[in-house]
Chain A
């Protein structure tokens, strides 16, 4: 692969050194911007490492990964996009595994809304 740099450690002249495995593991691995739960019929507008979204009901979805994480301890952050002020996305609900994240969208009650989502962690 062109332009490949192989290094286990990056060291600065005064600021110290960092093992590159931390850098590799802490970049976002999966991301998605999707309106599947907003319109019910359309698509993922931008995504990576996602195989599908399962619409499980009002404000309820599974995000399925193409490359599983090492376990279900990955960090995931989601938000609603657009006009849904005050709504939040909860990740790692009950059926979360290394290969899917079970999310909910909530604003006083479960809510359908477009979402943006990223997941960070060590891959399998």
Chain B
């Protein structure tokens, strides 16, 4: 199915079209990251409808749009978004792979200071893995950490 020409269409309406016309795709990828040495590891779980919209192409805005809105919101005098048009009027991105979808989600939903410096310490601050590489139960959930023996030149969790 071809995506309609959506540039200029409100993102909400584009997502309505996607929900109606596309089957959700549940990714097996998970992104594990640590934001603080005092906190447990966090796990980002992609949404199936978001993944299907990304794989389809022509629906989602470029990720830099979200960064611009986040910059606006970080201003001390922020009250309300005034550049929401960036979401709706910027040319949507083309179709991509599931791996590119995960990269997009990392840059959208994980704090920039994590993914920009993921490999700058003694061990990686962020790891992409498959869901079956996570613990199978949530026992001791608040003690989950990225393995200490993992190095930044090894890609497996």
Instruction: Give per-residue flags for A39-75: 1 if the beta carbon is below 8 A from chain B beta carbons, else 0.
Output: 1110110011111111111100010101110110000
**Interface presence of B150 (CB below 8 A):** no
**Does A64 lie within 8 Å of B87, measured CB to CB?**
no
**Does A40 lie within 8 Å of B134, measured CB to CB?**
yes
**Interface presence of B108 (CB below 8 A):** yes
Interface centre among B11, B19, B60, B81 (most CB of A within 10 A): B81
Q: Note all chain A residues with C-beta closer than 8 A to B66.
A: 68, 99
**Does B131 lie within 8 Å of A41, measured CB to CB?**
yes
Q: Note all chain B residues with C-beta closer than 8 A to A39.
A: 138
Interface centre among B26, B83, B141 (most CB of A within 10 A): B141
Residue of A nearest to B111 (CB): A95
**Interface presence of A90 (CB below 8 A):** no
Docked pose: A122 CA to B91 CA in angstroms: 23
Residue of A nearest to B42 (CB): A56
Distance in Å from the Cβ of B53 to the closest Cβ of chain A?
A: 8
Contact check: which of A44, A54, A112, A123 meets B12 at CB < 8 Å? A123
Docked pose: A31 CA to B19 CA in angstroms: 12
**Does A64 lie within 8 Å of B79, measured CB to CB?**
no
Residue of B nearest to A32 (CB): B47
What is the number of residues of chain B that contact chain A, defined by CB distance less than 8 Å?
45
A–B Cβ pairs within 8 angstroms, 20 of them: A36-B45, A37-B138, A41-B132, A41-B136, A43-B48, A44-B47, A48-B15, A52-B44, A52-B105, A54-B44, A55-B45, A56-B40, A57-B40, A58-B138, A58-B141, A67-B12, A67-B15, A71-B78, A98-B69, A112-B138
Q: 17 extra interchain contacts, Cβ-Cβ under 8 A, other than A55-B44, A67-B12, A124-B84?
A: A37-B138, A43-B48, A47-B47, A47-B49, A49-B12, A50-B47, A51-B109, A52-B50, A52-B105, A54-B42, A57-B144, A66-B15, A71-B80, A98-B81, A112-B141, A124-B69, A124-B83
Interface residues of B (CB under 8 A from A): 10-13, 15, 19, 26, 39-40, 42-50, 53, 60, 66, 69-70, 73, 78-81, 83-84, 87, 105, 108-110, 131-132, 134-138, 141-142, 144
Interface residues of A (CB under 8 A from B): 1, 29, 32, 36-37, 39-41, 43-44, 47-58, 62, 64, 66-68, 70-71, 97-100, 112, 123-124
